[in-house]
Structure formats: C-alpha cells, structure tokens
Structure 1
C-alpha cells in the first residue's frame, strides 16, 4: 500500500519532462532569433515578467531559455538585477574575426584534403540553394538566406573530422550574424556576396587550397571592414547599451 507521501506527491513522467524541454527549446530558439534579428537590441534588459507573456511560456521556462543564452554569450547575467542582451562593439567583432580566421582556414584546408564525394555533393547542394536567394539578397528573404548561408559554411568545413570545430564555429557564426545585419544595406556598400561565395566554392571544389583560403579570408574580413568604415564615416551608429533611445540607425545621406 502506498504511503501518504507517495499518494499526495505528483509524479513527473517522461512525457512531462519532454514537454518541458520542448517549451524551453522553443523559447530559447525564438529569443535567440529575436536577439540576432535585433528585436531585442544590444543592452536591452530582458524582463522575464513581460517577456513570458510575449513568448507564451512560464517564468521558469523563460529563465531556463535565458540561462542557455548566457552560455552562448548572447545574454549577460547581472547578478540579482536580471539579464541584458550582450552589447556589441567593433573590438569584439575584430576578436571574433581573428578567431574565425584561425579556425576556419585550417578547417577548410583539411576539408579540401580529406572531404570525399559526399562532401562535394553536400557542398554543391548547399551552394545552389543559397545562390537562389542571394542575387541579390532581398530584405524579406534575409532570415531564410541566413539559414542557407550557415548551411553552406558548415558544409564547406564539414570535410574535416572535428565535431568541436563545428560547434565552436556555429557559436561564432551566430555572433557574426548580429554584426552582419548592421552592414547589409549600407548606402554605397559595393559588396557582391554571391561572387565571394562563388570564388570560395569553385576553388574548394577544384581542390585549390591556397586560393580557397584566400577567398574565404577576404569573405570573413569583409563585414568588420565595412562596419569599421561605416562607423568612421558616420553612416551607422551601434546601440549605446541603454534601454531608452539606443536603436542603431543609419545616418542620413
């Protein structure tokens, strides 16, 4: 016979735990996407009591999702004062860029050396799917293009055998994406992203390591170079990191 403790205590089932994980995953994905897309700008305070209604989850679920974003370095914990979207700076982007170059160029060389027919086929498919949306990249297609762009870069480097390399690069890619949204559509920015991707793709498929690495390096450096130039010329300002009046904007032409 069951004790009163057993009879009165709710039992967590596998289905309950699965449903909870699903809610956390959904809230995490939505919140992460909103941060990357700038719906929650750098420096914004993430108020759990307000956001739980927006995302349709409980406070505990939302805090779990936010904690994961702290691990991703997209959100900063402020002790007992809550959470804020991590600020962005040109110095951080340059640091991210140096790390990407250090890891990606070697991963590309290893992929070209060791990637077989399956790697080439996956790379071709990802390139063709991405190309369909980047001639040119329209504003309404940008979220879909970002996903295809990430798939292309992952396919490009998937010929090497280090799972940790892919995990680290996926995190760096998410942070790079935050900065890229500020440079896309800059007045007078003459950048042909499709040509950049084509040069990388064709050199990789042809097995030209040095040429592919040079093309990839130029491609990775383009965003920080454009952003630095736009900041110096006053075309764009980055969010100041306060809740009021800190939206990034283009300066009038």
Structure 2
C-alpha cells in the first residue's frame, strides 16, 4: 500500500515519514532525558513541541511502550518510564549476561573484518577522550557516547543471534538513559579508556574467560558509579 503524500512538491511528507519522525524525535528526547522519567505525556504539549498531529504521536508512543521507554496506564494515558535503583541494577545484570554470551559467539565466528572493526572503534575512542567532571557540553557527551556504543557493538559484531542483539540494544538504551540522568551529578568520572583497551586486547587474543571477566568488571564499575551518586532523579 502506497503512502499518501500530505504536501505537494519536493517538501511533501508521507504518513509513514511523519510517523517515523515522531518516533525518532520522541525516542531521542526520552533517551537524552529532555522528557524526564515519570513525566506525564500530554498530547497537546507534544503536538506543539514537535509540530505533528495526534495519530503519528499515538503510533510513536505505542512503539515506545513496546520498548519499555513509555508506559501506558489504563484510564491515565502515557508517561515516560520511571527510573529507580532496582531497575538500574536489573538492567546492569542482564546487560552483563547478554554481552558475555554475545562476545563468546563473536569470538567463535571471529575473522579479520571483526578484528578490524574493533581496532577501528578503539581508535575512535582514543581520538576523543571521555569528558570528565563538568568538562564539555551535551554535544561532546553525545559524540563520545556514539563512539563508546560503536566499540561495544564491535565486540558483538559476529554474534549471530538476532534476538540477543535486539534485547541487548534495548538494555543499552535503557542504561544510556541512566547515564544521562547522572552526568550532572557525578563528580570526577573515571577515565575508562584503559578498560576498553584491555577489552580489545582480550577479544583479539580470543580469550573468552578474560573478556567475560573484563566485561563484567567494566559494566559493574559503571553501575557502582551511578549507584554511589546522590541523584534525586533516581529514587
């Protein structure tokens, strides 16, 4: 079925395009905590904010609810998924398990292209030091997070389980939301480049036991930092 154009000429937007844009914009603002955890979602506010109609907004919110980023409450409407320390710990535990399974599968299927992607992603991390403390602005944090995500995705690049990668990406997004919430409350943050270098070294050496141990320690240190930070937004 063809999409119906809503405008004529080169600027026309289809129904599908508008729905995709609504989903992308909402999702980005939730992950970046522009829409904070627990926020009640009012359609009139979103229509004014994003300049789109009710139907694409509702479609986008239903997709986000399926991802766990939005909650649909009976007779109350939508709200952004709340944050809590118990939820954070659950995310961390499951992220560790899936990353360890995924990297083991990647090592079993390793090839030169996989090694090259890991080395390339590590090189990009080395070129942009992690912003520490109050250094930099949100743009620097976002750019560093893109490089960081690319590195961890490279480690799992040869994992053949589509479902594992799908669930793992969901957990990564959920954890990113907590990190965004905590950036302004953390003190001097750790320089974790040596941790990533050790992960890359273990991966290239095909040392499954070492990389699992390093992954659990790396992700665990992130959890410890977030949990130790007084943060009124994470009860």
Whether these two folds match at TM > 0.5 is yes
Tell me the distance in 2 between the aligned counterparts of 1:161 and 1:131.
Answer: 28
> In the comparison of the two structures, how many residue pairs are matched?
225
CA spacing shift, 1:210–1:197, aligned 2, 3 Å: same
1:204-237 superposed Cα distances (whole Å, 9 cap, x missing partner): 122222222211111111222112222xxxx322
Q: Report the TM-score when normalising by structure 2.
A: 0.87
Tell me the distance in 1 between the aligned counterparts of 2:228 and 2:28.
Answer: 27
Q: Secondary structure at the match of 1:214?
A: helix
Correspondence for 2:173: 174
Tell me which structure has the larger Cα radius of gyration: 1
- Please state how far the C-alpha of 1:190 moved relative to its aligned partner: 4.4
Question: Gaps spanning 5+ residues in structure 1: where?
Answer: 1-11, 241-253
8 Å contact 2:130–2:144 — kept in the other structure? Answer: no
Tell me the distance in 2 between the aligned counterparts of 1:127 and 1:15.
Answer: 44
- Please state how far the C-alpha of 1:80 moved relative to its aligned partner: 2.6
Tell me the distance in 2 between the aligned counterparts of 1:168 and 1:80.
Answer: 29
CA spacing shift, 1:64–1:190, aligned 2, 3 Å: closer
8 Å contact 1:182–1:227 — kept in the other structure? Answer: no
Tell me the distance in 2 between the aligned counterparts of 1:171 and 1:141.
Answer: 23
- Please state how far the C-alpha of 1:142 moved relative to its aligned partner: 1.2
Tell me the distance in 2 between the aligned counterparts of 1:53 and 1:124.
Answer: 45
The one of 124, 127, 152 aligned to 2:122: 127
What does 1:1-253 align with in structure 2 at a 5 Å threshold?
13-14=2-3, 16=5, 19-136=14-131, 138-139=136-137, 140-184=139-183, 186-230=185-229, 235-238=230-233
Correspondence for 2:10: none
Q: Secondary structure at the match of 2:14?
A: helix
